[in-house]
Structure 1
Amino acid sequence: MGVDIHHRGVSFTNNSKRAKCTMREYFAYRIQDRDHSFSLILNSRRQQHVLRCDSYENLRNQKAKGTTDISNVGQRVILHSSFTGGARYMLQNYLDAMSLCKWFGYPDFFITFTCNPKWPEIKRFLKDTSLQPEDRPDILCRGLSHSHICIFMHSDNKLPTVELIDPIISAEIPDRIEDPELYSLVNEFMVHGPCGAENMNCPCMVDKKCSKNFPKQFSNHSSVDQNGFPLYRRRNDGHFVEKSGVRLDNRNVVPYNKYLLKRYQAHINIEWCNQGSSIKYLFKYINKGPDRATVAVIPTNNECENNDAVDEIAEYYDCRYLSACEASWRIFSYDVHCRYPSVVRLPFHLPNQQQIVYGEDDDIDDVLDKPSVAASKFTAWMECNAIDSEARKLTYVEFPTKFVWILNGRFWKRRKVGKAIGRIHSVSPKLGEAYFLRFLLNKVKGPTSFDDIRTVNGQTHSSFRDACYKLGLLDDDKEYIDAIKEASHFGSGFYLRFLFATLLMCNSMSKAEVVWENTWEYLADGILYRQRQRFKSAELSLGVDELKNLTLFEIQQILLRNNSTLKNFKNMPYPDVESVSSSNNRLITEELDYDVLVIKNDYDRMFLALTNEQRNIFLNIMSAIQENKGGVFFVYGYGGTGKTFLWKTISVAIRFEGNIVLNVASTGIASLLLPGGRTAHSRFIIPFELTEDSFCNINPDGELASLIRKTSLIIWDEAPMVHKHAFEALDRTFKDLLRCVNSTISNIPFGGKVIVFGGDFRQILPVVPGEGKLGGPNDGETIIDIPDDILINDSHDPIGSLIEFVYPSILENYSDINYFQERAILAPKNEVVQEINDRLLKKFPGDEVEYLSSDSICESEFLHDQFDANLYSPDVLNGLKVSGLPNPKLVLKIGVPVMLLRNIDQKNGLCNGTRLQVLSLGKRVIEAHIITGTNIGNRTFIPRMSLTPS
């Protein structure tokens, strides 16, 4: 480093496999200091290729159809997980870190190591120059600029209790007489502050508080708080240091290790972290991604004289920020993340469903003819099993411990050196067969084909789900058969079909076809009667096959309304749709299926009721639609100012003209207020896990893509409730879908579609814990007097008084729907909600019915040994009460109001937040009717459903 490599005696080698160096290697060469040579790195960049991704099978089908242009086939990809610093890159590193925990338990220590620019090596290098250490980031990063390190101790050396950490971690100032060297180092590197009242300008100060929560509290013993974070011993022993004229004691000491501090003489913070509740936070912190900066594009003086209109929004860019140290680190190709042992990511796929990444300009024959396309790491594993007896002793996740993947040759060979563990990519339960394939990959050893994976006890099953069922990895479906039979005693076939569709969408049944065969006669109830009414023939009879077909068609319609289909459930029979419906685009047909006469009357009435401001907005939006030039509008208004009425007026105006308007909202409850409303996530298939480069999962050749192309207007209500990445994903997707209609729309927002956002930013709550309102002014501290008329004073039982005030005479009124529509109690914590619910429940007449959850660890996850399985016994899982998961016990009575916490069928008003009242309580199913929204009175059956948290 820093020495001219061209001198006498340098040996020549031609062992390199490449004849040319890469751009990074060239810059790494040019950045070095050399005698009589000036070092300069020129700014350069190149346009990233536009990439797309699709399955091998689909590309083969496209070729069979004669397709040659694949620029609009598959999904567009912005940044792959291999892009260093990208969101997917960080997520994969986080998952790798969690995989280490599965094999070795939790890490014991978390170390933050910061470079000391005063190290003698750095000073010695710069002594003959006028430069400061910060002027040479390439020198700093050769040592260590900044690193986060997690250390896993051997089982014999672990510190299971917090009392054992005091000899290793100290958060106290040493005695100046006994250890003057350590005292000096702690004073220089490990004391935080002064901050707070003594120094309000300290960088750590946010909203007049230290963001690092200094000073800490004195403590005579180390302990762990309720969130799993350690509280170190900080005795009030009188030791102190003085900085900027302020005395700082043990409360301001950053935890350190005495040996490391003396050895490296730099800021080295060490934390004890062997607690499960803090591990995820720790790994997410390490992999939180790059710094960001908002950059403005400023024109030169000459350009300022141009009077053309300026797009002020487009002038600002949200950029990744790389400091000089980090840029140098990356040029030298130093590791950004490093793990030992390494984690090998193991992709898998269904037969011929491996994902292929290709460029938009690539020829389909060139893509399919590549040797690496038909082969994958997953299929190569099965090929290795066929020729190596040692390989057949391992599961897929265990395979990297004994074998290594050779990328150039695309094959596995026995590992000779090093150590590695495997991590199988995770998939959603909604992916069906792929999800059950992952189950089997954690159990099956040495398969040589997909058929081997599906083989159990010598029998090859037709699906991976059946194989899982035979292995006992899935629950029995008798509960759901009994639930449908039980519901048939007090519900019609219409509600039973909806119940069956709900079980399908929630992925609750292990073998849906078995449940179907045992209950289809109940599900078909009412079908024959409707057909007799339709054809006006009381003597009409239907055969078994005809009756099954019509019943399946009704179930299919329910699934289609919720972005699902019977085709997603292997072995479930599929209806002969041609015998009962046309082959037109169902989504377009639904959006055009309105009574024109009713629409006209609604439009005439509503347009006359518009205010001047509403009418002005109406005319501007309609003008943009008629001119077909696109446009993005935002209607900002307080709650109750008429935004929803405006949406309805615009909708009937467009539908009266025979055009399509898509009404969406950010929440299920808000979508129920819009005509034909849906949540934005369900309508446009927006990913729940969003990144800065996400796309919506819309097939360019599918029905939804055709619907979007024919849509005249999109209205998105309560838009401020979702993250900006959702809008960016929709924008990228629309541009990609619509460029086949008009190739010039790549720079037009949302591909030239007219889209209207609405909402009230003042309804947005803080979303960053502890950070307060984003962008809001700090008005300081004050005392607010709450008026007596909204307080409960002088009550020995405040909760009881509150219940009596909100729900008076509940026994006389509980059967009245209006009584519960007008009342609700808001509480800040789930514990308070539970207490109020328990006390209210006792006021209702009748017997209590108790429903219990059935909790278990997902079988698709790899458990290292039986000890891990015992850690997550049903008793432990039943004791978990966390946000996002229901409590393990539900107690109800007939007549009590309940709230749905899951989107089931938005078109029929059943979504997250819908309030219902219980009508009957069965052993396997609950009957209730809706008491709020636009579907008041609609009945439904709610079974026990599977819930897999992400």
Structure 2
Amino acid sequence: MEVHGGSTLDEVQQYVDARWICAPEAFWKIFRFTLYRLYPSVKRLQIHLPNRHQVRYYDHQRIVDVLNDERNSKTMLTQFFALNRRDPHSRNYLYREIPEHYWWNNKDKEWNRRLSSRKVIGRIYIVSPSEGEKFYLRVLLSHVKGPTSWEDLLTNNGTPFNTFKKAAEDRGYLEMDSSIRDCLVNASCVRLPYAIRRLFATILIFCEPTDVRSLWNEFFTHMTEDYQTNNNVVELNLNHMLLKDLNQLLEIHGKSTKDYDLPSLPAGATEENAIPSVIQEELSVHIPDEDIQAVAKLNNDQMNAFKIIMDVIERKQSQVFFIDGPGGTGKTFLYRTLMATLRSQGQIVIATASSGIAATLLPGGRTAHSRFKLPFDAIPGSNCDIRKQTDLANLFRLATAIIWDEAPMTNRYCLEVLDKSLKDVLNSNAPFGGKVMIMGGDFRQVLPVIPKGTKAQTISACIIKSPLWAHTMVIRLRQNMRSMHDHDFAAFLMRIGDGVEPTKPDDIVKIPPQIAIPWEGEHSIQIFIDHIFPQLELHGWDASYMTQRAILTPKNDDVQKLNDILINQFPGEEHNLLSFDKVEGDTHNLYQQELLNSITQGGLPPHILKLKKGAPLMLLRNLDPRYGLCNGTRLLCRGLFMNMLDVEILTGSNAGKGAFLPRIKLKTSASSGLPFVLSRKQFPVRLSFAITINKSQGQTIPNVGIYLPRHVFSHGQLYVALSRGVSQNSTKVPIRDGKLQGYLSKFAGLLEN
């Protein structure tokens, strides 16, 4: 410690100068051992335009000699091209991935194969978009594997381009101004006018087009072809008919044709006494014949519930019901029977569900947030966006009953907000304004999601903690119809759901041997996949094959891993569709594309969307709930273009119908944990060979695989996953981390209830 002499004492300087070194550090310094090391090391990669790289030379050297020196023409980038010409193995990597497998010999100016296992990360120098061609070169290097020359980088599908920008645009790496028009051009080639109209409405709502009138003029004929075929109408009326249909599609999202640069509807185009579209939509819901005849097929529990509810409705009384039943006890079957009976009598039943996939299983079903206009984050004091004088308010006045499936997934405040709004709209102090409210679900399954919440907070958010629960009549369904041919499996599910199945330390529960697949290494994943998707290579385009099977896993990272494996085995040509990512308000480009592209939030599609024709997909947004395009709807890819997907709906009452999907902008939420709002323009889908357990709730999957590389992390997840299946023989679980020493049986993780 150094102490300064003199009359004045500078304590701050003395503190800065003071230093104490322990004996080990002193010896380390004396022998000049490395004190600090960055691991893994980062290799910075040069980037430059052709013949525009930096060259260093001494003052005494002549410029001619410098230019003639072959070493000065070699850079990391040019030698990357040379490496790809001589080594086929290197063509599997991007420029930034090369340091992971090769090391840069600065003396010889060459890339050499790396022999050690030392981890190295490659990073290309940052380039601002203001630098023009150099920026687009970086975009190409970030996505193109194994280029052998500048010319190779500028060529795509045999077509050479003069600039890196044009080459990047042709490969689909840059967003083009004409992308919306190209989407409609691709759709018009398929000649499905009703689907083109829905696509046009989706573009207006989600894609923010700048020249709506020119799109209207160009694609007017394509959107009205079926009018001319199905109706004997003059061209003057085509305009009105198209505007009416578009207006109905826009009203689903609270918009109208008046909000866009479209022709206006004449005053006499809409009848004053016409039934509002939101009410007409409910009155015109198709009633399947099998639902009308389903009353005779109800089991004893279902029939008891049916009679109790119908008796209250016939007496015009007010009551709140909750249909409580484990997965597979026929709750959806009961709802559909009630709806068919009431709708066949001309009455209105509003069908909703907490999740999009559950809503598609109900004829005319919508998500609760969409139908009730619930706030995104409901808190005490919130209100639904339902105004007394609107058509939606009149719909609730006319409705005989309201059905809300998967209600336990919903935060109690959403229920209380709806109750308060209906009391106001219907001028009644009775629960839910005096309407017959039929809720249903299973508290053994997934409960409300509280980000980073404790067990106590999750329980507090349940609907049973709401004051409304005291006014609720609970009707129980006990007979498992899904597993009726495998009583042992049904009993096992009930023990899991009730939390009475015996466990070992760390909440490990025994899995029946008929379900378990022993883990014998990474190749066990392929054995597991073959059980669920047998002869996958022979079932491209097979919709019935895809709807009958899926793999469930808790986390999105494992979903992505399994989907990547399966899409590689799926027959057909692979297409990689890239997203366009940016940070809102980032005018100085502080965040690089590699960072933005690597973000994989649960509600966002991946940056690289790997697709093949015939592959199963899952929709990630509510685009058109009335048509069955809800968050969670399973789809089949029928065709794909750079700016449009042609899909077929696989699940719900709209199964078999076609639709067109554009790229739309999706944003991260405030709860994402990011210090910025990421805007990603991508098709709102992801592969659905594998899906998360939460997304599967409400579905029956005859052939289900459950991949648990680690313990489940939320209440009810294991129960939800297992109860999607119908028997032990068609349900498979590879056992990995749950194998306990001293036990011959197989075990899987279960979070204690």
**Match for residue 519 of structure 1?**
219
**Match for residue 843 of structure 1?**
569
| Deviation, structure 1 residue 758 | 0.9
AA in 1 matched with 2:544: N
Relative to structure 1, is the Cα distance of residues 777 and 591 closer, same or farther in structure 2, using a 3 angstrom cutoff?
closer
Q: For residues 594 and 896 of structure 1, what CA distance do their matches in structure 2 show?
A: 30
Relative to structure 1, is the Cα distance of residues 583 and 652 closer, same or farther in structure 2, using a 3 angstrom cutoff?
same
Contact 1:666 1:718 survives alignment (8 Å): yes
**Match for residue 299 of structure 2?**
611
AA in 2 matched with 1:828: P
**Match for residue 194 of structure 2?**
494
Contact 1:493 1:522 survives alignment (8 Å): yes
| Deviation, structure 1 residue 857 | 2.5
| Deviation, structure 1 residue 523 | 2.3
| Deviation, structure 1 residue 580 | 6.4
- Higher RCO by CA contacts (8 Å cutoff, separation 6 or greater): 2
| Deviation, structure 1 residue 796 | 4.8
**Match for residue 916 of structure 1?**
635
The answer as to 2:392 corresponding to 1:704 is yes
**Match for residue 721 of structure 2?**
none
Percent identity of paired positions between Structure 1 and Structure 2 = 36
Relative to structure 1, is the Cα distance of residues 831 and 608 closer, same or farther in structure 2, using a 3 angstrom cutoff?
closer
**Match for residue 734 of structure 2?**
none
**Match for residue 946 of structure 1?**
665
1:295-345 deviation line (CA, Å, top 9, x unaligned): xxxxxxxxxxxxxxxxxxxxxxxxxxxxxxxxxxxxxxxxxxxxxxxxxxx
| Deviation, structure 1 residue 569 | 2.5
Name which of 237, 255, 272 aligns with 1:565: 255
**Match for residue 670 of structure 1?**
358
Contact 1:477 1:509 survives alignment (8 Å): no
AA in 2 matched with 1:822: Q
**Match for residue 622 of structure 2?**
903
Superposed, which structure 2 residues align to 1:140-539 within 5 Å? 477-532=177-232
**Match for residue 579 of structure 2?**
853
Name which of 298, 312, 327 aligns with 1:639: 327
**Match for residue 436 of structure 2?**
754
**Match for residue 167 of structure 2?**
none
1:551-596 deviation line (CA, Å, top 9, x unaligned): 2222222223x2433246232333348436663322223333368x
TM-score by length of 2: 0.56
AA in 1 matched with 2:528: L
| Deviation, structure 1 residue 946 | 1.4
| Deviation, structure 1 residue 663 | 1.3
Relative to structure 1, is the Cα distance of residues 796 and 622 closer, same or farther in structure 2, using a 3 angstrom cutoff?
closer
Contact 2:405 2:439 survives alignment (8 Å): yes
1:919-941 deviation line (CA, Å, top 9, x unaligned): 11212111121223332221111
TM-score by length of 1: 0.45
The answer as to 2:520 corresponding to 1:791 is no
Superposed, which structure 2 residues align to 1:745-824 within 5 Å? 745-746=428-429, 748-765=430-447, 767-768=449-450, 769=452, 771-772=454-455, 781=506, 783-789=508-514, 790-824=516-550
Aligned Cα root-mean-square deviation (Å): 3.2
The answer as to 2:238 corresponding to 1:556 is no
Aligned residues: 457
**Match for residue 709 of structure 2?**
none
AA in 2 matched with 1:823: R
**Match for residue 589 of structure 1?**
280
| Deviation, structure 1 residue 784 | 3.8
AA in 2 matched with 1:884: G
Contact 1:895 1:919 survives alignment (8 Å): yes
AA in 1 matched with 2:410: V
Contact 2:409 2:447 survives alignment (8 Å): no
**Match for residue 686 of structure 1?**
374
**Match for residue 551 of structure 2?**
825
| Deviation, structure 1 residue 749 | 1.1
| Deviation, structure 1 residue 696 | 0.4
Is the partner of 2:589 in helix, strand or coil?
Answer: helix
Relative to structure 1, is the Cα distance of residues 659 and 877 closer, same or farther in structure 2, using a 3 angstrom cutoff?
same
Is the partner of 2:225 in helix, strand or coil?
Answer: coil
Contact 2:213 2:261 survives alignment (8 Å): yes
Relative to structure 1, is the Cα distance of residues 921 and 627 closer, same or farther in structure 2, using a 3 angstrom cutoff?
same
Contact 1:602 1:652 survives alignment (8 Å): no
Relative to structure 1, is the Cα distance of residues 766 and 674 closer, same or farther in structure 2, using a 3 angstrom cutoff?
closer
AA in 2 matched with 1:643: K
Contact 1:925 1:944 survives alignment (8 Å): yes
Relative to structure 1, is the Cα distance of residues 752 and 477 closer, same or farther in structure 2, using a 3 angstrom cutoff?
farther
Contact 1:550 1:575 survives alignment (8 Å): no
| Deviation, structure 1 residue 839 | 2.1
| Deviation, structure 1 residue 766 | 7.4
Q: For residues 765 and 572 of structure 1, what CA distance do their matches in structure 2 show?
A: 45
1:62-110 deviation line (CA, Å, top 9, x unaligned): xxxxxxxxxxxxxxxxxxxxxxxxxxxxxxxxxxxxxxxxxxxxxxxxx
| Deviation, structure 1 residue 547 | 2.6
Is the partner of 1:763 in helix, strand or coil?
Answer: coil
Q: For residues 486 and 518 of structure 1, what CA distance do their matches in structure 2 show?
A: 13
| Deviation, structure 1 residue 875 | 4.2
| Deviation, structure 1 residue 654 | 2.3
Gaps of 5+ in 1: 1-165, 168-219, 225-474, 533-539, 740-744
Contact 1:806 1:825 survives alignment (8 Å): yes
Contact 2:348 2:399 survives alignment (8 Å): yes
Relative to structure 1, is the Cα distance of residues 870 and 591 closer, same or farther in structure 2, using a 3 angstrom cutoff?
closer
1:142-186 deviation line (CA, Å, top 9, x unaligned): xxxxxxxxxxxxxxxxxxxxxxxx99xxxxxxxxxxxxxxxxxxx
Q: For residues 591 and 374 of structure 2, what CA distance do their matches in structure 1 show?
A: 33
| Deviation, structure 1 residue 701 | 0.5
1:384-430 deviation line (CA, Å, top 9, x unaligned): xxxxxxxxxxxxxxxxxxxxxxxxxxxxxxxxxxxxxxxxxxxxxxx
AA in 2 matched with 1:813: H
Q: Which moved more, 1:896-905 or 1:627-636?
A: 627-636
Relative to structure 1, is the Cα distance of residues 892 and 791 closer, same or farther in structure 2, using a 3 angstrom cutoff?
same
Q: For residues 621 and 878 of structure 1, what CA distance do their matches in structure 2 show?
A: 51
Is the partner of 1:842 in helix, strand or coil?
Answer: helix
| Deviation, structure 1 residue 734 | 0.6
Q: For residues 796 and 810 of structure 1, what CA distance do their matches in structure 2 show?
A: 19
Is the partner of 1:731 in helix, strand or coil?
Answer: helix
Is the partner of 1:761 in helix, strand or coil?
Answer: coil
Relative to structure 1, is the Cα distance of residues 516 and 820 closer, same or farther in structure 2, using a 3 angstrom cutoff?
same
Relative to structure 1, is the Cα distance of residues 852 and 936 closer, same or farther in structure 2, using a 3 angstrom cutoff?
same
Relative to structure 1, is the Cα distance of residues 851 and 652 closer, same or farther in structure 2, using a 3 angstrom cutoff?
same
| Deviation, structure 1 residue 636 | 0.8
Contact 2:639 2:646 survives alignment (8 Å): yes
Is the partner of 1:634 in helix, strand or coil?
Answer: strand
Q: For residues 353 and 179 of structure 2, what CA distance do their matches in structure 1 show?
A: 36
Contact 1:494 1:525 survives alignment (8 Å): no
**Match for residue 355 of structure 1?**
none
Q: For residues 579 and 677 of structure 1, what CA distance do their matches in structure 2 show?
A: 29
Q: For residues 594 and 221 of structure 2, what CA distance do their matches in structure 1 show?
A: 39
AA in 1 matched with 2:383: F
AA in 2 matched with 1:575: L
AA in 2 matched with 1:678: R
Gaps of 5+ in 2: 1-14, 17-34, 40-174, 460-497, 670-753
**Match for residue 575 of structure 1?**
265
Q: For residues 507 and 662 of structure 2, what CA distance do their matches in structure 1 show?
A: 50
Relative to structure 1, is the Cα distance of residues 571 and 766 closer, same or farther in structure 2, using a 3 angstrom cutoff?
closer
Q: For residues 653 and 786 of structure 1, what CA distance do their matches in structure 2 show?
A: 42
Relative to structure 1, is the Cα distance of residues 928 and 765 closer, same or farther in structure 2, using a 3 angstrom cutoff?
same
